[in-house]
A = this chain, B = another copy of it.
Amino acid sequence: MTSTTRKPVGRPKDEELPARRRQEILDASAVFFARLGYPSADLRLLADELGVAKGTLYRYFPSKKHLFLATVDSCMHQLSQQVSVATLHIESPLERIEQALRAYFRFFDSHPHVVELIVQERAEFKDRELPEMAEPHDHAAMWHGYFDALLKSGVMRDVPVQRLVDTMSSLLYGLIFNKYVGCASESLESKTDDVLDIVFNGLMKDKNQGNQRNPWK
């Protein structure tokens, strides 16, 4: 009843609680949706696992669809963060690319369920038109910058950067998707060297032999 401090009377009102709760839900959702697949994922089950009631989920997300997409975005955001952190302080364009690659692979090695989420998203919401969602493929812009810098550094052949980014993106997607499909137990990160070797050095023994640009033309 003594009221020296006026404001903090009563429950301290944890200002952070809603945000924390929201993130808890997102984290649980990620593995949950990945495990069951979007259509078979019963929100009651998720609520049970979280120890909350189904209705509570709807206080944080307006629909199952929104929850799922928010979950995917949350994962993609974490991915971006990890790649950013891994490359921020690196100067050498070449090494930056390598570290970015390793960061990608490390992320999917430690968050294997995210691949499932990506696939689920494309499968169920190929025509996704939720405006509030950030474009998750700004990663391309990042790669574009990296390879631009590499090109300018002069060690690289004069390859159109756009095509290069396309090809590299595809390679990345492919590796991740492949691991997801093939149940390959080998870690992605361990493949980094192979990929870099092939991409940077090419397969041919001597690409400058003679003046042929393309051996099959």
A: residues with CB less than 8 A from B are 10, 37-39, 53, 94-95, 98, 116, 119-120, 122-124, 126, 137, 154-157, 159-160, 163-164, 166-167, 169-175, 177-178, 180-182, 191, 193-208, 213-216
B181 touches A173 (CB 8 A): yes
Complex CA gap A137/B183 in Å reads 12
Instruction: Given A167-B171, A215-B94, answer yes or no on A123-B126 (Cβ-Cβ < 8 Å).
Output: no
Complex CA gap A94/B177 in Å reads 26
- Residues of chain B contacted by A207 (CB below 8 angstroms): 200-202, 207
Q: Interface of chain A, helix or strand or loop or mixed?
A: helix
A94 touches B173 (CB 8 A): no
A215 touches B198 (CB 8 A): no
Complex CA gap A45/B180 in Å reads 32
Complex CA gap A159/B198 in Å reads 9
A198 touches B164 (CB 8 A): yes
| Neighbour of A204 across the interface among B156, B169, B174, B203, CB < 8 A | B156
Told that A199-B202, A200-B202 touch, could you supply 8 new A-B pairs with CB distance under 8 A?
A39-B124, A137-B182, A156-B203, A157-B201, A166-B194, A200-B207, A201-B207, A202-B203
Residue of B nearest to A140 (CB): B182
Residue of B nearest to A172 (CB): B174
